[in-house]
């Protein structure tokens, strides 16, 4: 039976994550928003602490490396690393989304490795900071349309293509690159490869200037006859047209709840700050009276809180299902769609409710509204999530419902 209360064994850990967000991330939030592309040096100490917790076994799945699906067997209900990672991400993004995305060795590429790598690969890439490169100039949310190629040549794959919007693409040690082994085989031929950044043939072409998450670097990467060892392919090298895209897509089933958690954390920060400003202005939010009998600002706030609660619970459900070995593709997409859109709506509405304080830089509300937009876009746009949900509910294939 699912229980969406914070598990007792995680409460201390969640408190520690909140403390990190309050003392490390939020105090540096404005600094690195203004100094785009500057490396947040303060994160090195924090990353070392997280690494130490991982090595000691006390991390409870801190950060992105904690999302590995395992067989639950007959051990009953469990709250494992997917749940703890989501709870951690929520607290950290209450501090700052861009800085959380800049955490060394906690990139989305690390999530991909944790999700589908073999035990040998997990050991070999332990301690590597990995970005993830999927999007291309002609391929956005439709990951099946990837044109970057990987051709087997002896015991190496030769990769060619261009990847854009690669989070931590400049700072990371490696990039998990999605490429096709055979364009004629469609989705089934798409595989992911761990490409170390010092490999000849891979280069960072440019860094993007962005609306939000400016503390995080976002790169364009070129692969030009980049030779990668065959053992760096994640998952099976076989092209299984029956199973299709399942292997690499399992990554999304684990990382989409994480992105939903980022959105939940950012939205909560906006709600808390807005509530404080409303109370300072003498506006009372009364949970014992119907919304229609309160001020317009209080009614709007109550509606936003309800929206946030729905996103929060959907996110926990998706993480819980992953921990308990249950297929969660539908729930992961529902959580990502709801949380991404709700966070964007809530943060913008909070700017409105706060008036001039919301629009200026004295408060972080305007920054959170900018940061929240990407959470409705990356890891699959709002529209793609709705399409996935529709396919699952109607039991239709991608060919039948486009």
Catalytic residue set: 379
Is the CB of residue 148 less than 8 Å from the CB of residue 175? no
C-beta atoms surrounding 160 within 10 Å: 16
Rounded CA separation 119/215 (Å): 33
Name every residue whose Cβ is closer than 8 Å to that of residue 83 and which is 6 or more positions away in sequence.
7, 10, 61, 316, 319, 320, 323
Q: Cα separation of 117 and 144, whole Å?
A: 20
Q: What Rg value do the Cα atoms of the chain yield, rounded?
A: 21
In 135-184, DSSP assigns E strands to 149-153, 156-167, 174-180
* C-alpha–C-alpha distance, residues 391 and 402, integer Å: 9
Using a 10 angstrom Cβ sphere, with 0-12 exposed, 13-18 middle and 19 or more buried, the burial of residue 248 is buried
Which residues are registered as beta bridge partners of 190?
Answer: 180
CA distance 356 to 371: 19
């Amino acid at each position: 039976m699912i229980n969406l209360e914070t598990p007792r064994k995680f409460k201390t850990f969640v408190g520690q994550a909140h403390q990190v967000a309050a003392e490390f991330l939020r105090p540096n939030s404005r600094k690195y928003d203004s100094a785009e592309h500057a490396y947040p040096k303060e994160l090195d100490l924090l990353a070392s602490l997280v690494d130490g917790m991982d090595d000691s076994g006390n991390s409870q799945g801190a950060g992105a490396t904690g999302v590995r699906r395992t067989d639950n067997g007959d051990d009953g209900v469990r709250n494992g690393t997917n749940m703890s990672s989501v709870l951690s991400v929520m607290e950290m993004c209450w501090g700052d989304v861009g800085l959380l995305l800049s955490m060394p060795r906690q990139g989305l590429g690390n999530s991909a490795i944790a999700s589908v790598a073999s035990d040998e690969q997990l050991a070999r890439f332990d301690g590597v900071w990995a970005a993830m490169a999927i999007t291309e100039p002609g391929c956005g949310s439709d990951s099946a349309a990837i044109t970057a190629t990987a051709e087997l040549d002896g015991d190496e794959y030769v990769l060619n293509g261009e990847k854009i919007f690669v989070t931590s693409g400049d700072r990371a040690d490696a990039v998990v690159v999605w490429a096709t082994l055979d364009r004629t085989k469609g989705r089934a031929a798409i595989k992911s490869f761990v490409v170390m950044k010092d490999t000849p043939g891979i280069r960072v072409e440019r860094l993007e200037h962005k609306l939000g998450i400016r503390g995080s670097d976002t790169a364009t990467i070129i692969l030009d006859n980049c030779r990668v060892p065959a053992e760096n392919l994640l998952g099976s090298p076989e092209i299984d047209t029956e199973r299709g895209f399942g292997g690499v897509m399992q990554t999304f089933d684990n990382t989409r709840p994480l992105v939903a958690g980022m959105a939940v954390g950012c939205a909560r920060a906006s709600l808390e700050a807005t509530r404080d400003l409303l109370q300072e202005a003498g506006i009372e939010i009364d949970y014992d009276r119907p919304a229609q009998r309160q001020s317009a600002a209080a009614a709007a706030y109550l509606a936003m809180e309800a929206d946030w609660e729905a996103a929060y619970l959907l996110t926990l459900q998706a993480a819980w299902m992953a921990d308990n070995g249950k297929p969660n593709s539908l729930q992961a997409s529902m959580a990502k769609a709801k949380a991404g859109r709700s966070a964007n709506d809530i943060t913008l509405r909070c700017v409105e409710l706060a008036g001039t304080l919301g629009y200026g830089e004295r408060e972080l509300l305007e920054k959170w509204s900018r940061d929240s937009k990407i959470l409705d876009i990356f890891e699959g746009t709002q529209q793609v999530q709705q399409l996935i949900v529709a396919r699952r509910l109607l039991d239709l294939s991608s060919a039948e419902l486009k």
